[in-house]
Structure 1
Amino acid sequence: MTYCAIDFGTSNSAVAISTAAGMKLVPLEGAHLTMPTAVFYCTDRDDLPPGAEPAPAQTEPPLPRVFGRAAVQAYMDGYGGRLMRSMKSILGSPLVEQTTEVGEGYGVPYLDIITTYLRHVREHAQVASGQALTQVVLGRPVYFVDEDPERDAQAEASLRAAAQAVGFESIHFQFEPIAAAFDYEQQVQQEQRVLVADIGGGTSDFSVVRVGPERMKRLDRRDDILSHHGIHIAGTDFDRHVSLNSVMPVLGYGAFGPSVGGAEPRPVPSRVYFDLSTWHLINTVYQPARVAELKSMAGFYGNPVHHTRLMRVIHDRLGHNLISRAEQAKIDVATTGLATLDLGLVERGLNASLKHDEAAKALEADLHRIVDSARETVQRAGLKPQDIDALYFTGGSTGLGLLTDQLEAAFPEAKAVRGDRLASVATGLGLHAQRLFQG
């Protein structure tokens, strides 16, 4: 078969291909069926990290690159290069038309970075399939961009263009939470109305779908999709809040400058801290003009240590490392109630902490909006909370108990079911691709 299905996620991606036994997920990195959505461009050709691959012929920039876990590890190990993560977040934003520097004077359009990653995924799928794959079902969030249909359409068009650039000729899209419903449907014994909560790195998407053993035999499922809705808030936003709460204050976020002429001290400018806490904006802080601007702002700081630490983070390009620690703290505090962040890479002996109640307060507004979005999805289906038979969780961020507890409380009569957080969508997309292309 010449078709596949790709779940191109903000944080992780997966691909399913057709086999004699049905649709199967393809190992993308060793034995792993999912792979972080990350590319590392290697600028030191004499010291390449493990897993480095040469750039394909006639591909710009002609720099070796590493993907997935190996890309993140190469960055963490200090190899020369540029890490790009959460590329999906640029779809529908002005960044999609801009170019970023990846080293050695090479600039690459942001959309080309997405193309590079999709090409790598397709090549792995083709090796596993043993043939060229020209047809694809791509997952997409309910909304790439909230409350802006024009930008949302542009985001889908950009992703389509990237898929065409890597060799796909027939390209179809399916909403990610609906794909997750198809995966859940495989285990139901009777007809149900399920609210799918697909909460990943970039979006929180919800769908109310009618599922059942008889309905799964139908190709046209439009009348089974009772409603879908979503909001552009998810895991990377949680990471940003944790970073701003626990990491950035030691660099000066929330601090004040000196008193000038007896006037009240003014807050330290905060934009750099938000950018350092937002995965897809971190690299913008390293642009030479921005570095020069930040260096000149030493006088804005009442505590010179804060500015010294900030400039060390920028000069050593520690942004991704720090937000990775914030991400891990988010995970740790959800399981143990307390997380300690080792910031010794910034300054020997420097630490920060995050308590459960601090995390809850930092994430409160976002969690409230996500739960409201779920409620609205059910309302749009013309249903009440008690009409939902099952609440199906998928997506990496559904591992956060603070979130799932609130969603379960909003639908107390629904059976809570946890799917494969990283693979349910890809599996469902694969089922849809099989029905669509195989007939």
Structure 2
Amino acid sequence: MSFEVKAVGLDFGTTNSAISVVGADGAPRLARFPHAEGGAATETFRSILFFETRDEIGGAASAVSVGNDAIRRYLAASGNGRLVQSLKSFLADKTFDSTDIMGENYTLGDLIAPIISALRDAAIAQFGELPPRIVVGRPVHFASMGAADEALARSRLDIAVRRAGWTEVEFEYEPVGAAYDYALRIARDELVLIADFGGGTSDFSLLQLRPRSAAKHGAVRYEILGNDGVGIAGDAFDGRIMRHLVAPALGRGTKYRSPYGMVLPAPTWPYTRLERWHYLSFLKARATMLRFEELKRQSLEPDKIGALIHVVENDLGYFLFRAVEQSKLELSDAESAIFNFVDAPVEIEAIVGRAEFEAWIDRYLAQIAGCVDRLMLTAGLEARSIDSVFLTGGSSFVPAVRRIFVERFGADRIRMGDEFTSVARGLALRALDGAA
């Protein structure tokens, strides 16, 4: 059913994205999308592109599908194509100018704009025409390399959003968006620590927050007391599972015999890229595959290098990601999980314990904890002054992550939000406050 949309909020995420609108009643509504694998409709949209090969579709050019549809097409094509994901992670990367995909050149804007356009189209189909202004979420820090890289990331995202059809683009910190969503559930003013865990970044804001019902439209509903963030989140946790459970089966730690007869360790750079999802799809380049074939011929364990070639050549990153993610999810509820990935000739099965996983991610947990402590120190606040801690995002369910906040603020002050849509809902509410 169509109604007048007053405001729009967009959460463009590393792994998942969401778009929300607000009408005259002031209630946020999320666009819904067909499930990637045939389940119930979902309020999240995978931030993914799939390029199908010419042989698969016929004709002279590759075809691109987007989001949840890209997953469906990818599964149907049995790896005959190129899956591109985690594009948000490249926004601050000045070395990424463009890339060749199946003989065609694409800039980062060329790759991101179709995802945002698909989100816009879905919102229009479900809610009617959208206003020209949108509030878009952004991490507290796109990058740790400096102001120039921050500006580059913001500019790139601004251009992609405008290419998708909006003419007025405003950015807001993602944890502030989450705070707007949290304000719907409080009955009095609160000093709140918002922790938003995405795929690529963990972002934190300290806000003096007013309940939604206590402030009139257009009034300032919050005061920011401090922001901070770190480029560590769910993808980094996944990367540690990849390093310890997957990479050894694909040749990490093996040796090869050089043309001069020397026995040398296999290069580590392919496995470093395997740990970072946004680089995985770019291993499937002709020059790289030739290097892998040469390494296989020289390897003392060629079957393992052959397994690496099979994973990259058949674009199995999505299936690996799903297996890794499943193990991580199980470890949030159980003390151990079975990691299982089979795609002949590759077969990897192992039991991983929660304590083992937490040891793998220990240095990342320390960085997250250090960021929270730095924010509190910079704001001049002590833990006892915080009324509540609102955790949102997928990694907020990792027990070791939650423990960081329980140890500092107490379990009674921890509040949990919807893991993937709190930010989008709040950004739409934030947009409503700024609407004319």
Assess same fold via TM > 0.5. Answer: yes
Matched, 1:16 2:20: yes
8 A Cα contact 2:209 2:222, kept in partner: no
8 A Cα contact 1:29 1:68, kept in partner: no
Q: By how many angstroms is 1:347 displaced?
A: 2.2
The worse-fitting range, judged by mean Cα deviation, of 168-177 and 205-214 is: 205-214
Q: Distance in 2 between matches of 1:44 and 1:2?
A: 43
8 A Cα contact 1:386 1:413, kept in partner: no
8 A Cα contact 1:2 1:134, kept in partner: no
8 A Cα contact 2:258 2:298, kept in partner: no
8 A Cα contact 2:56 2:80, kept in partner: no
Identify unmatched segments of 5+ residues in structure 2: 36-40
User: Residue 355 of structure 2: which of 354, 357, 366 is its match?
Assistant: 357
Q: By how many angstroms is 1:260 displaced?
A: 9.9
8 A Cα contact 2:251 2:308, kept in partner: yes
How is 1:12-91 mapped onto 2 (pairs within 5 angstroms)?
12-22=16-26, 23-29=28-34, 31-44=41-54, 63-77=62-76, 78=78, 80-91=80-91
**1:116 counterpart residue number:** 114
Matched, 1:236 2:235: yes
The worse-fitting range, judged by mean Cα deviation, of 401-410 and 388-397 is: 401-410
Residue 423 and residue 223 in structure 1: after superposition, are their counterparts in 2 closer, same or farther (change >3 A)? Answer: closer
Q: Cα deviations across residues 27-55 of structure 1 (Å, max 9, x unaligned)?
A: 1336311112112223357669xxxxxxx
Q: Cα deviations across residues 77-115 of structure 1 (Å, max 9, x unaligned)?
A: 4153221211111101035422231x3x22322221101
Q: Distance in 2 between matches of 1:202 and 1:240?
A: 11
**1:297 counterpart residue number:** 295
Q: Distance in 2 between matches of 1:420 and 1:182?
A: 13
Secondary structure, in 3 states, of the residue corresponding to 1:186? helix
Matched, 1:93 2:93: yes
> One-letter code of the match for 1:25?
L
Q: By how many angstroms is 1:429 displaced?
A: 0.3
Secondary structure, in 3 states, of the residue corresponding to 1:280? helix
Question: How many residues were matched structurally?
Answer: 423
How is 1:176-195 mapped onto 2 (pairs within 5 angstroms)?
176-195=174-193
8 A Cα contact 1:177 1:206, kept in partner: yes
How is 1:327-366 mapped onto 2 (pairs within 5 angstroms)?
327-347=325-345, 349-366=347-364
Q: By how many angstroms is 1:156 displaced?
A: 0.4
> One-letter code of the match for 1:72?
I
The worse-fitting range, judged by mean Cα deviation, of 295-304 and 119-128 is: 295-304
8 A Cα contact 1:14 1:28, kept in partner: no
8 A Cα contact 1:18 1:129, kept in partner: no
> One-letter code of the match for 1:118?
I
RMSD: 2.5
Q: By how many angstroms is 1:118 displaced?
A: 0.6
Q: Distance in 1 between matches of 2:61 and 2:334?
A: 45
8 A Cα contact 2:7 2:428, kept in partner: no
8 A Cα contact 1:84 1:280, kept in partner: yes
Secondary structure, in 3 states, of the residue corresponding to 1:313? helix
8 A Cα contact 1:28 1:121, kept in partner: no
Q: Distance in 1 between matches of 2:45 and 2:57?
A: 24
Q: Distance in 1 between matches of 2:219 and 2:98?
A: 39
Q: Distance in 1 between matches of 2:72 and 2:47?
A: 13
Q: Distance in 2 between matches of 1:391 and 1:271?
A: 39
How is 1:15-414 mapped onto 2 (pairs within 5 angstroms)?
15-22=19-26, 23-29=28-34, 31-44=41-54, 63-77=62-76, 78=78, 80-101=80-101, 103=102, 105-213=103-211, 216-217=215-216, 219=218, 221=220, 224-257=223-256, 265-298=263-296, 301-347=299-345, 349-412=347-410
Q: Cα deviations across residues 336-395 of structure 1 (Å, max 9, x unaligned)?
A: 222223332042654233222221111110011011111111112110122211110011
8 A Cα contact 2:7 2:23, kept in partner: no
Secondary structure, in 3 states, of the residue corresponding to 1:306? helix
> One-letter code of the match for 2:86?
S
Residue 147 and residue 310 in structure 1: after superposition, are their counterparts in 2 closer, same or farther (change >3 A)? Answer: closer
Q: By how many angstroms is 1:334 displaced?
A: 2.3
Q: Cα deviations across residues 110-133 of structure 1 (Å, max 9, x unaligned)?
A: 221101101111111122232244
Q: Distance in 2 between matches of 1:41 and 1:258?
A: 37
Residue 6 and residue 262 in structure 1: after superposition, are their counterparts in 2 closer, same or farther (change >3 A)? Answer: closer
> One-letter code of the match for 1:292?
L
Q: Distance in 1 between matches of 2:167 and 2:428?
A: 17
Secondary structure, in 3 states, of the residue corresponding to 1:393? strand
Q: By how many angstroms is 1:413 displaced?
A: 7.2
8 A Cα contact 1:195 1:209, kept in partner: yes
**2:432 counterpart residue number:** 434
Matched, 1:415 2:391: no
> One-letter code of the match for 1:236?
D
Q: Cα deviations across residues 132-158 of structure 1 (Å, max 9, x unaligned)?
A: 442110000001002511101110011
Q: Distance in 2 between matches of 1:100 and 1:334?
A: 39
Residue 296 and residue 285 in structure 1: after superposition, are their counterparts in 2 closer, same or farther (change >3 A)? Answer: same
Identify unmatched segments of 5+ residues in structure 1: 49-60
Q: Distance in 1 between matches of 2:95 and 2:317?
A: 19
The worse-fitting range, judged by mean Cα deviation, of 366-375 and 88-97 is: 88-97
Residue 330 and residue 283 in structure 1: after superposition, are their counterparts in 2 closer, same or farther (change >3 A)? Answer: same
Q: By how many angstroms is 1:63 displaced?
A: 4.5
Secondary structure, in 3 states, of the residue corresponding to 1:332? helix
Q: Distance in 1 between matches of 2:199 and 2:346?
A: 31
1 or 2 for the larger relative contact order (CA 8 Å, sep ≥6)?
Answer: 2
8 A Cα contact 2:67 2:115, kept in partner: no
**2:38 counterpart residue number:** none
